[in-house]
Amino acid sequence: MGFTFHCRHFINGQFVESGERFTNINPATEEELGWVAEGGREEIDRAVQAAKRALKGEWGKYSIHDRIAVIRRIGDLILERKEEFARLESLDTGKPYSLSAHLDIPRAAYNFHFFADYLHSVGTESYQMDSGQFHYAIRRPVGVVGLINPWNLPLLLLTWKMAPALAMGNTIVAKPAELTPMTATLLAEVMKDAGLPDGVVNIVHGFGPHSAGQFLTEHPDVNAISFTGETHTGKTIMAAAAKSLKRLSFELGGKNPNIIFSDADLDDVIETTIKSSFSNQGEVCLAGSRIYVQRPIYNQFLERFVERTKQLVVGDPFDSKTDVGALISKEHLERVSGYLDIARSEGRILVGGKRPQGLEKGYYLEPTIIVDVDDQCRVVKEEIFGPVACVLPFDTEEEVIARANDSDYGLSATIWTSDLKRAHRVAHQIESGVVWVNTWFLRDLRTPFGGMKHSGIGREGGAHSIDFYSELTNITVKL
Ligand code: NAD
């Protein structure tokens, strides 16, 4: 295909290399996309020092108006280069170009536009005491913040953290996922073109353990880490960050229940469940991967769900007919396939479970539905992070709430019912940070987003992001 894109670090406003490089692979073709500079302790330290200096430089003197203007400009420039960003995102991840162009990239731009607008109305508290003394709080940046991201929604999730961090005047060292370094590199160009002062945003490529990720979490001059990724990685980062007592925000894994009651609108259920199971190849932390269906409609649901799943087109991310692209890597395809072997012994694969015919190259997998498994099976308990959904029958409301909550995770849940009272009743009892009723993935960036239990620590979004990325000082005045 002749495409090449090399990824250098972006440190103190300059694109720089380091001694080591690794190869970036296109998961849809298994061809090389280019090389990526591999950062280590030295690159992380240079980036952190640049970010530290930038806090005290021109950026530190920016008025709120100036910050709003530059954040807005970054969003505008992403939109101006939307096609370029979307192409790189699909080449890197294997996701359909239509998804990159309609979801990932517009949302990345919107993350900046949203927080530029939001900043106008960010305030603090103030209290007056009977005796006339009063208190007011001011916000200051936390300092240098480290952003560590996964590969499934690379630009969307990076900018979800970056925009509020900049809004609050912090400086940033970001470590994109090693499998998807391209859009972060292009974003660095946008930062330069938007006129952001040098050192405010730094990007260091590399791996996690014993590499850029670990060195970032251990660096004593990094004040906060916002991490999105696997639960296990979160635990490692928490331990590393404890040594210098960093502020942490974690958005981790999920094994999210979809609860479908018999009185739900089945047309709506089917179309949305197809999306919540298989969009982005199921590589979505919010994917509904445990589908509980009330017994009276179980067979009917399954029949229609299977029929729609068979219609999904798996293939070339750049073909407009494609619904499901390639999985991120060979290792990930093998990991997901390992779960399918477990499913074959613990239960039954009703549809899918194979490499699609005619696709010799690329890490493709047919959308897969698993049935006849019980709640203790590994495929029902563990996050698979691929196009794989387990469907399980249930009888009563009480029973399904208990089964939905019987999980270490608590990220999101979807409830399908026409009974308003039941919808609220169940939503109040589900142990997850996000509950959707009769919908899925409907987001409003003002709302708290994050998980309970092993799905995360803290919430981001609107005021929650502002709180995470700012330090409050309360000032008491005696009159
Ligand atoms: P991962 O945890 O393997 O990697 C995420 C990032 O952490 C990468 O940049 C990686 O290099 C880095 N990393 C790995 N080990 C590290 C270490 N020891 N120290 C510092 N950094 C380290 O996750 P992944 O496989 O890239 O992403 C998939 C996971 O992300 C899934 O579990 C998914 O549910 C989760 N996720 C959660 C959300 C959410 O909002 N809750 C969103 C998207 C993805």
DSSP state for residue 60 in the 8-state scheme: G
User: Which of the following is catalytic: 43, 89, 178, 251?
Assistant: 251
Looking at residue 153, its amino acid is: L
pLDDT at residue 1 in the model: 52
pLDDT, average across residues 80-97:
98
Question: For residue 65, is pLDDT > 80?
Answer: yes
User: Would you put residue 444 in left (φ > 0), alpha (ψ -120 to 50) or beta?
Assistant: beta
Sheet-wide strand order for 144-148:
14-16, 9-11, 201-203, 171-175, 144-148, 224-228, 247-251, 456-457
Chain centroid offset of residue 280 CA:
12
Query: pLDDT tens-digit profile of 356-372?
Result: 999 999 999 999 999 99
Question: For residue 385, is pLDDT > 60?
Answer: yes
Which pLDDT band holds residue 19 (cuts at 50, 70, 90)?
confident
Separation between Cα atoms, residue 279 and residue 411, nearest integer Å: 18
Separation between Cα atoms, residue 367 and residue 356, nearest integer Å: 9
Which pLDDT band holds residue 346 (cuts at 50, 70, 90)?
very high
| Ligand 1: lining residues by beta carbon, under 6 Å | 148-152, 157, 175, 177-178, 207-209, 213-214, 217, 228-230, 233, 236-237, 251-254, 285, 383, 385, 411, 451, 456
pLDDT at residue 389 in the model: 98
245 with 398: CB under 8 angstroms?
Answer: no
pLDDT at residue 131 in the model: 87
Q: How far is the CA of 30 from the centre of ligand 1 (A)?
A: 22
pLDDT at residue 477 in the model: 96
Token readout for 400 is: 């399904």
pLDDT at residue 2 in the model: 72
Mean residue pLDDT of the chain comes to 97
pLDDT at residue 282 in the model: 98
Active site (annotated) includes residue 31? no
Q: Is the pTM of this model over 0.85?
A: yes
User: How many residues in total does the chain contain?
Assistant: 479
- Domain 9-253+455-478 is found in CATH 3.40.605.10: yes
Candidate of 178, 205, 230 to mutate for ligand 1, largest count of ligand atoms within 8 Å of Cβ: 230
Mapping DSSP to helix (H, G, I), strand (E, B) and coil, where does residue 29 land? Answer: coil
- Domain spans, the chain: 9-253+455-478, 257-437
Query: pLDDT tens-digit profile of 103-156?
Result: 999 999 999 999 999 999 999 999 999 888 999 999 999 999 999 999 999 999
Q: Which of 254, 226, 222 has its CA nearest to residue 413?
A: 254
H/E element, 251: strand 247-251
Question: For residue 479, is pLDDT > 90?
Answer: no
In 10 A of CB 18, how many CB atoms? 19
Percent above pLDDT 90 for the chain: 98
Atom of ligand 1 at shortest range from CA of 177: 9
Query: pLDDT tens-digit profile of 412-457?
Result: 999 999 999 999 999 999 999 999 999 999 999 999 999 999 999 9
Q: Which of 47, 81, 24, 34 has its CA nearest to residue 203?
A: 47
Q: Under CATH, which number does the domain 257-437 receive?
A: 3.40.309.10
